[in-house]
Structure 1
Amino acid sequence: MIFRRFLAFLSLVGLVLATALPGLAQTNGTTEGALVADAVTLGDSLTEVQTGIYVLRLTNVSPRDGSFDVDFWIWFRWQGTDVRPDQTFELANGVISNRSDTEVLNDNGFNYATVRVQGTIYQQFDVREFPLDNHVLTIDIEDAQYDASNLVYVPDASTALDPTVEVAGWQVGLGRPSAANHVYPTNYGLQGSGVAESAYSRFSVPITLERTSFAPLFKLFWISFLAVVLGLLAFKVKSDDLDARFGMGVGSIFAASANAFVISDSLPETTHITLAEQINLIAVGAIFLTVFISIWSLRLRYVERDEASVTLDNWSLVIIGVGYVLLNAVVLLLHFV
């Protein structure tokens, strides 16, 4: 008799819980029960996810290291209970160092979730035009669990860049977000899949960095320009005054060489000769010519051809000076063409 009463009590508790739990699930935005069930799909199992981001900060932009840090909010709007894009997304071209917890809300019949993300993105910087280089940084989002046959991203028009975002030396702008399938030519060793490649929907947000002045060029090369001027002024010193004449030329070469080390320290390993290196090579070449001609002028002094030595110095000052300016103008002109 006692055992039957105990079973009846358990049945009553089970009935109460069965009635109360659905109501509790509807009030909790993070549970599966809160997800909007009527999925708008493009196929039997394909879910369309509207995605956008709001960029808060760009820091540690380093062409040398090929990386930059980013802090942004990302949001997702979708229908159905089959996917949770707010939990399964990843940075396709970087790593997430920190992310906030998510809560799913009902937004006019859509599931809506936002996540704040901090991470590091790795990217190849084209430094051939350094220090007048422009770049396009990209934030690439993919789903780590679902391929393009199950989930596709659609760019949200509300994607934006915070007005306070700044990167020293560049003007920051936002490009047009896009979404497309990214194909990986591998089945990741899963031979039973029957396919040789896999495709994932990728949401990409381009961020433009544009140089707006010649200030980086001046800051990087004013010592090099000064070294060339000192090398040219050596022609105004008598060629047989060895300490002054050759001291100015040799010192100028060392200054231009030191500038080359400063340039290389700002750049990644590359097989290209950058704009900065071209300008510095022109400076080193001009200074080397001044030292070579100083030796020639000194030899004229040794054979007592003083007038020819002075003429050589005067013409060399004009020709090398004009040639140095013209070569730099040509290099910069080719940069802008």
Structure 2
Amino acid sequence: MMLNKLLLILTCLFAFSLSAYGQEVVVDDSERVEIPVGLYVTSLYDLDMAEKKYTITAWIWSTYDPQLMPKDFKFFNRIEITNARNWAILETENFTIDNPDGTKHSMTKFTAEVNQDWDLTYFPFDKQFITLNIESVELDSTFMKYVPDTENSMLSDNLDLIGWYVKPIQVRSFDYKYPTTFGLQSGAKGVYPRISVVIPMERDGTRMFWTYFLGFFVSYVIISILYFFNRTSLDSRVGLIMSALFACVGNKYTIDILLPSNSVFTLSDLIQIATFFIVGVGLLSSVMILQLMKWERKELAYKIDFAITMLVIVGYPSIIAYGVLEALSQ
């Protein structure tokens, strides 16, 4: 009996947690006005990883029967970009055409600064899915539905992003249910038609890999040559270790400016942790050698130092290579 009550409570809590978030739902299509919607992307720029945003300029169009719509309906005045920080219609490039069959064709050009949750797990060999969500305002899913114009929705031939391979655009429509009633007296939660535009992109990260992580790789080279200073000048080892540490810290500062904080373990994290680790190993091995020499155990110190050096020389690039191969195989 107690077990049944516990299960009931857990089920209710789970259902309540789901109701607190918006979700994609299925709505009965009967007697809904169909509004075809298409998009032509002319420009995509300001891809800002740290600020989690991008900027897009595009044409959006729709064909509708004015007899079925409200008198003031012009399509562009009944849409919003739900994941945009701000967006604006270019008034000089916004017009409506009267079709011979009595329908109207609305075309609007807009610019939007859009929020984007970048997946930087495998940066700089990452794949991104630029997303733009366009939703109906006021007219909900009980009245109308969007139908994507997949045949004519595309990217401009002039759109060229240096360092990126941009794949064909993906457009789909669905109905989105909000977890709130927006204060309506009916008490019904809002469900609105939405068009989702996705632009798949893949970064060409080979050059960026070497330039952005060069400081870490220089630190690796410095730590790898420490062994050759164990017989002649132990004091020089300290200077080399400090140089490696400064190179690590400087490179980490650059990466932290470029990339936002992330909750997942990334390729960048792997490179940083591995590099700081070998710098620490170099420091500890130097302290150990000095101590062994004070105890007049020079040969043992040289052998241990040689073994540590070989582990660093072989182990570090092996770990980095593993991370890069995993990123390339995604």
Tell me the TM-score range normalised by the shorter chain: 0.7 to 0.9
Q: What is the aligned partner in structure 2 of residue 4 from structure 1?
A: none
Counterparts of residues 158-177 of structure 1 (less than 5 Å) = 158-177=152-171
Counterparts of residues 89-238 of structure 1 (less than 5 Å) = 89-94=79-84, 95-100=86-91, 102-109=94-101, 110-156=103-149, 157-190=151-184, 192-195=185-188, 197-238=189-230
Match status 1:306 vs 2:298:
yes
User: CA separation in 2, counterparts of 1:326 and 1:43?
Assistant: 60
Cα drift, residue 67 of structure 1 = 0.9
Q: What is the aligned partner in structure 2 of residue 60 from structure 1?
A: 46
Q: What is the aligned partner in structure 1 of residue 289 from structure 2?
A: 297
CA distance change for structure 1 residues 80 and 151 in 2, over 3 Å: closer, same or farther?
A: same
The one-letter amino acid of 1:137's match is I
Q: What is the aligned partner in structure 2 of residue 5 from structure 1?
A: none
Q: What is the aligned partner in structure 2 of residue 321 from structure 1?
A: 313
2:242 to 250, 267, 291: 250
Counterparts of residues 273-288 of structure 1 (less than 5 Å) = 273-288=265-280
User: CA separation in 1, counterparts of 2:190 and 2:231?
Assistant: 73
Cα drift, residue 250 of structure 1 = 2.0
Larger radius of gyration: 1
| RMSD value, Cα | 1.9
TM-score (norm 2): 0.83
Match status 1:50 vs 2:40:
no
Match status 1:84 vs 2:79:
no
User: CA separation in 1, counterparts of 2:183 and 2:321?
Assistant: 55
**What is the SS of the residue equivalent to 2:272?**
helix
Contact 1:75 1:112 in 2 (8 A): yes
User: CA separation in 2, counterparts of 1:193 and 1:116?
Assistant: 36
Q: Structure 1, residues 144-168: CA drift from partner, whole Å, max 9, x if none?
A: 1211122211111100101222334
Contact 1:61 1:167 in 2 (8 A): no
Counterparts of residues 4-83 of structure 1 (less than 5 Å) = 46-81=32-67, 82=69, 83=73
Gaps of 5+ in 2: 1-28
User: CA separation in 1, counterparts of 2:65 and 2:161?
Assistant: 38
User: CA separation in 2, counterparts of 1:258 and 1:120?
Assistant: 31
**What is the total number of aligned residue pairs between the two structures?**
293
Match status 1:241 vs 2:233:
yes
**What is the SS of the residue equivalent to 1:235?**
helix
User: CA separation in 2, counterparts of 1:148 and 1:99?
Assistant: 28
Cα drift, residue 72 of structure 1 = 0.6
The one-letter amino acid of 1:176's match is Q
User: CA separation in 2, counterparts of 1:280 and 1:320?
Assistant: 15
User: CA separation in 1, counterparts of 2:163 and 2:267?
Assistant: 17
Contact 2:155 2:169 in 1 (8 A): no
The answer to which of 150-159 and 264-273 deviates more is 264-273
**What is the SS of the residue equivalent to 2:265?**
coil
Q: Structure 1, residues 151-190: CA drift from partner, whole Å, max 9, x if none?
A: 2111111001012223343212233210110111211112
The one-letter amino acid of 2:154's match is A
Contact 2:89 2:108 in 1 (8 A): no
Q: Structure 1, residues 83-108: CA drift from partner, whole Å, max 9, x if none?
A: 43132111121121343253321234
Cα drift, residue 210 of structure 1 = 0.4
Cα drift, residue 239 of structure 1 = 5.4
Contact 2:78 2:136 in 1 (8 A): yes
The one-letter amino acid of 1:147's match is D
TM-score (norm 1): 0.81
Q: What is the aligned partner in structure 1 of residue 19 from structure 2?
A: none
Runs of 4 or more, structure 1, over 3 Å off, are none
Contact 1:47 1:79 in 2 (8 A): no
Structure number with greater CO (CA < 8 Å, separation at least 6) is 2
The answer to which of 208-217 and 147-156 deviates more is 208-217
